[in-house]
Each structure stands twice: as C-alpha cells, then as structure tokens.
Amino acid sequence: MKDDNFLKEENARHLWHPMGHPGALRETPPRIIRSAQGVSITDQEGHSAVDAVGGLWCVNLGYSNQKVKDAIAAQLQDLPYYSAFAGTTNPSAIEASHAVCEFFAEDGMARAFFTSGGSDSVDTALRLARQYHRLNGAPQRTKFLSLKKGYHGTHWGGASVNGNNRFRIGYEPLLPGCFHLPSPYTYRNPFDETDPATLAQKIAAAMEDEIAFQGAETIAAFIMEPIQGAGGVIVPDASFMKLMREICDRHGILLISDEVITGFGRTGHWSGARHWGVKPDMMTTAKGITSGYYPVGATLVSDKVAEVFEGAGAEGAIWHGYTYSAHPVGAAAVVATLEETLRLDLASNAAARGDQLFKGLQALAERHEIIGDIRGGHGLMAGLEIVSDRGSKTAMDAAGMARIHAATYEAGAMVRLGMHNILMSPPLVITEAEIDTILTALDTGLAAA
C-alpha cells in the first residue's frame, strides 16, 4: 500500500466524495479507514472504534464473515461476470432470486429484479410501477407520492421522490408529477402534533386530500420507508403504514416499501413492512442483501404485479436493466449473506441489542440537556436529535455536531451525522459489551459539545 502522505495528497487531488464538499474536504481531510474486524474499524493512524454506523446501515454481518468472503472468492474463480440480459443467466443469480424471494415470501414477494444498489432499486420500482399501470390499461397513472424526510437514493427518480431538500436543490428540475406528504415526525411537524397516532391520522387525511386534488386515476405509486432512516430515524406510529396501505388499496395506487435499510432484520423483523403488519406491492432492497460486501440491490414484486407483466403481450417486456443486474459474484454474495443472516438469526439480536441501545440513549438524555429527541426502539436503528436549547428546540450548529462526532470517535465509537442528528445503525451481530462501548463513547462525545 502507498504511504500515508501519498494517500492524503491524492485523496485531496483526485477523489471526489459522495455527500461531501470537494473543496472543504481538502481543508478537513476525511479519515482513511484502513481495515475492519468484527464490528470495529481501524484508521490510518491505528485508532480503532466500534462502527456504530455499520458502514452505511449495511454491514449487518460485521466485517469478518468468512462464509460470505469465501463465496465471493469462489464465484470469482468460476464465473467473474456474465450478462443476465434476456438470453443468458447464471446459476448464482438463479439461486439468489430463489433465496431473496423465499426471504420475503411472507411479505408477498414473488419475483426479484437485481440491481447494483438502493438507488437503482428505487428507480427500477418507479419505472416498473408506471409500466404496470400502462399494461393494466391505466397509462395515465404516472405520478408518485412520497413522504417528506424520506430518503430514496439520488438517481433522478429517487431524488424526485426524496423528501429532503439537500438532495433536490441544485439538481432541479426533477421528475414532474412527484408530490410529498408530511413525515410522521412527532418532534417537529406542520400540525404541531406530538401524539404519534393522531399525527398518523392527520397525514392520512393529507394524503386523501392530495389524492383527491391530483385525481387518484393519475397516481402510479406511493413510496415510503417503514422507518425513515437517513431523514433521522423517524419511527411512525404502529398504525401508520397500515393506514397508507388502506388508502393505496382504495385508490388503486401501488405501495412501494423502501426496505434498503429496514430489510433483512434491522428493525428486529425480517422486513420493515412485516414489522408493521403490511404487505406491499413492491419492495426495494440493497445494503443488508450482501452486508455491504458487494454492491447489490433487488427490486421485488408481488404476484399481483408479476402477473400483469407476465400475462401481457410484447409490451410486457422490461426495457430496463443494468450491466450488473444479476451479477454472478454479487449473486453469490447474496446467497451466502442471506444464509448467514438466517443462521445467525440477526433479527432477534437486532431486537435485543436495539432495546439495550435505546434504553442507554434514554439514560444519556437524563444527563445531556442537548439531546432534544431520542428515536429508535425498533431494532438497531437509532437517532438523537441534538439541540442547543431544549425549550426552543434550536438545532445544534455544525461546529457543535463536529465536536461531538470527533470526541465520540476518539472515545471509541464511529457514529454518523445527518444535519443535527446523530444516527446509529451498528452491525446486527453486535454484542451487549459492544453496545455499551458505543454508549460510553457517546457519553464522552456529548459532553464535548
């Protein structure tokens, strides 16, 4: 490996980072993460920290799963690549489609379309939703509904249904016909409503109103995360997704559950939709599908959707796909990851360790006045909203957040910042002692603000 100075200089000179300012990153260079073992990462300076981010909500199995590594290595020997465009397929892709559809069978998923990541999966779902309605005799159903604070990736479709301005402004105009409803975010919302169940009712009413205004017959799909992740770990009331399902059903609108974070056990259930007792029409997945070891995503569709495509004439052909759709190495990673995810019963560990983390965060809030809101309690997703004043809910400034982040890292845990939120999504294999390490480090970090 090249020496430290080379890496630092070249990073500043040639590497543009996602979600970062290329100029500012020269002044404040990013940490170089050199290696990882178990649930810990080690940087170029030799400092180790428990990775409370799980890479980017994805390294569910931690960094040392030998079965997945071996499966990837073996597949590279047998068949490093072949296309799955109509006419050819490969054994790993077939096995992976079986594994992922079995995994989500209880959610009603019947077919898998593989992609290279979450943004691909979202855009695939949006495109398939329009085509579904066209095949179904309703070509005017082209619009999309979504939630503010939702995150659905940064392709054009995903950015258009995205509910955070940062990913939109600067790239407009986006896809026309995308409309956003309020987020089930009790800490701040336009209704000043703090009761989650009442807020859910109010958003449902807003959705009915928007559908009436647009005309139900013009709307293709509604996309939502069962728990909003990047937007700050926003947990809706238990009634919320069911209400959304019921409204979609009544108006012939497809429900897309964006499970890029919530799928594969993170919420303590095998899918976020199942967590809320809902069966979506489509699911978008990525991240935990390979534990981040290989870039793969999948868009899954129910029998209802599949039958329309499969029963159609020539126009049922899917003129959409990626060179790396059903990539054999990625598919081998999927098969091994899903086997390991089930064998280790990651959902159960996520539920138990998630409870521990949430209780620990509640205890921290008693000591740290700057914690405005604590969100989580459903598996291993947690968020702390940091304020400079609890009464006025004034958001902590960027400098304060940077101090918390740096001090927490020095004290032994890597957390993620999303504006003035601290976000956590550790590997689902994490132990009780490692959760304690995160909490102790955060205690130190919060004191530094």
State the residues that interact with ligand PMP by CB under 6 A.
Answer: 117-119, 122, 151-153, 225, 229-230, 258, 260-261, 286
Are the C-beta atoms of residues 388 and 396 closer than 8 Å to each other? yes
Shortest Å distance, C-beta 86 to ligand PMP: 25
Shortest Å distance, C-beta 337 to ligand PMP: 15
Q: Which residue is nearest to ligand PMP (CB)?
A: 118
Is beta strand 371-375 parallel, antiparallel or unpaired with respect to 254-258?
A: unpaired
Residue 135 or 147 having the CB closest to ligand PMP: 147
Listed residue (179, 277, 276) closest to 221, CA to CA: 179
Instruction: Say which residues have a Cβ less than 8 Å from residue 7's Cβ, sequence separation at least 6.
Output: 1, 32, 44
For helices 66-78 and 328-343, what crossing angle results, to 10°? 160
Residue 198 or 323 having the CB closest to ligand PMP: 323
Give the separation between CA 190 and CA 300, rounded to whole angstroms: 34
Residue 152 or 274 having the CB closest to ligand PMP: 152
Shortest Å distance, C-beta 230 to ligand PMP: 5
**Token pair in block for residue 204:** 């449902």
Shortest Å distance, C-beta 414 to ligand PMP: 16
Residue 151 or 358 having the CB closest to ligand PMP: 151
Residue 261 or 411 having the CB closest to ligand PMP: 261
Residue 40 or 290 having the CB closest to ligand PMP: 290
Residue 107 or 258 having the CB closest to ligand PMP: 258
CA 278 to chain centre: 18
Are the C-beta atoms of residues 421 and 386 closer than 8 Å to each other? yes
Shortest Å distance, C-beta 18 to ligand PMP: 8
Listed residue (169, 164, 182) closest to 230, CA to CA: 164
Shortest Å distance, C-beta 118 to ligand PMP: 2
Shortest Å distance, C-beta 216 to ligand PMP: 25
Instruction: Say which residues have a Cβ less than 8 Å from residue 303's Cβ, sequence separation at least 6.
Output: 108, 110
Residue 53 or 248 having the CB closest to ligand PMP: 53
| 109, β-bridge pairs | 302
Shortest Å distance, C-beta 5 to ligand PMP: 31
Are the C-beta atoms of residues 102 and 110 closer than 8 Å to each other? no
Instruction: Say which residues have a Cβ less than 8 Å from residue 182's Cβ, sequence separation at least 6.
Output: 147, 148, 189, 190, 191, 202, 203, 206
**Which DSSP string corresponds to 225-265?**
-SSB-TTT-BPPPTTHHHHHHHHHHHHT-EEEEE-TTTGGG
Shortest Å distance, C-beta 121 to ligand PMP: 7
3-state class (DSSP) for residue 121: helix
Residue 255 or 446 having the CB closest to ligand PMP: 255
Are the C-beta atoms of residues 41 and 412 closer than 8 Å to each other? no
Angle, CA of 201, 206 and 208, to the nearest 5°: 95
**Token pair in block for residue 248:** 């979609």
Surface-to-core class of residue 226, CB atoms within 10 Å of its CB (0-12 exposed, 13-18 middle, 19+ buried): buried
Instruction: Say which residues have a Cβ less than 8 Å from residue 435's Cβ, sequence separation at least 6.
Output: 353, 356, 357, 360, 426
Shortest Å distance, C-beta 416 to ligand PMP: 10
Shortest Å distance, C-beta 258 to ligand PMP: 4
Catalogue the E-assigned strands of 259-367: 282-285, 297-302
Shortest Å distance, C-beta 228 to ligand PMP: 8
Give the separation between CA 246 and CA 267, rounded to whole angstroms: 22
Residue 103 or 151 having the CB closest to ligand PMP: 151
